[in-house]
Structure 1
Amino acid sequence: MEKHQLFKTVRTMQGIKQTNVANQVGIKQQSVVPYESGKAKLSDKTLSKMALVLNLNPAFLVRENNNPFKSNGLIKFRLPEGMGGIDYSIIYFLAENNKYLNLIYFTTRLPRHKKTATNTLYEYPVYAIAIKDDSDNTFLIKRNADKPLIGEKELDAKLSSIAKSRGMAIEKTHVNLLAKEETIFVDMSATKEQIDAYFANLFYQQEKLTWRMVTDKEWEHIQKIRRRENEKD
């Protein structure tokens, strides 16, 4: 993805208007339009300012081995869709520019989405995806329309393919949302603290599971040693 395409993609997916970018950077909107279409260039100083407005990492503009995103807040993307289905290119871009990603698929049990429960990764349809990258940026991604995601099986397969080809790690799990939890995903009012809490809770559960498994193995090993000692006696 070319840099001007990246700027346009992340701007539109975050619902940020060209006029807002221009006003915050201190340039005219007429300068943003040709840049996003690839017909004009902007100075590195201007691009760095634009990057900060769009939660992009200014260092990525200088060296592409830097993480493309940088934000202390929650980066929210609404995925566009067309005749070919939902555009997951921004998620593929994340996978191609990170050493590892942690994903949470949030599934919904809302009655109005029951008909779409078929051909999905889990028992219930996936409504949103949260991602943490290797620089601890947090993303919340959903469909532009108030509908569950479609084609997530293909998304999952593509991510697995990228991970295999690049030797990166992608950890994924899912959370069945309770009715009282779904509002912050429907209207995208979730905060970084709320999404981070899901990651922290899952990490804690995984750590507990790992700790318990190790303890059981150690206990079995201790028992074997004791039996051997008793046999010697």
Structure 2
Amino acid sequence: MTLPKTPSFRLDGKRALVTGASSGIGLGCAVALAEAGANVTIAARGADRLQDIATQMRTEGWEIESLVMDIGDVENTAKQVADHGPFDILINSAGLARHSEATKTTPDDFDAVSDLNIKGAYFLTQAVAKGLIAAGKSGSLINISSQMAHVGGIDRAVYCGTKHAVEGFTKSMAIEWGKLGIRVNTICPTFIRTPLTAATFDDPEKIAWVESKIKLGRVGEVTDIMGAAVYLASDASAMVTGTSLLIDGGWTAG
């Protein structure tokens, strides 16, 4: 009898692109992939902060490159991915939220959120997939979505709409590229404590509402996302595609 062997969670020899990597979830994912052995290209809009993070990560002995990138600029992003790829792994953590009552949504806010969360994410995923296809390689493409891609939320009509859209194109891309060995999935966090969520966490009424929804009784931390990123990027999830990994503390269960 031969016992089964657990697939490897290691990412040695893999090249990863992580966008939105200068803070929060993106930074956490970049660290997680680097710890697992990947050569990680961290990308974000702010050049100075990006360089500081790259320098700090290299002191850990990790293979790190940096790339100033605005995924809202679809044409330039595609060129950068083509020039610096192919990437075996994509984690897109770049995103935008502008919360308001649905009756107070402005066209400018709608366009800004949609252009980054849907259009930018779509064409970034497309660009990385094109590089893999041209190189005849398999890969794992991961968009950071949200629990709000599976439920509704007060003051979040536009944000929820964009994240529902990400789930939709993720499934379609997974179907199209599955036969090529390219997997496409999302990670859907609950409220995670980051600099971008500080305003929510500083509001006692809002944090009470959040904690009442999370069945585990606490808000999420960046570290709660890191293991999921490694799992979906690695061979441990070789049969996982076209789906979402909910890290929501049970929010959507009830």
- TM normalised by structure 1 equals 0.33
Using CA pairs under 8 Å that are at least 6 residues apart, name the structure with larger relative contact order, 1 or 2.
2
Which of the pair has more CA radius of gyration?
1
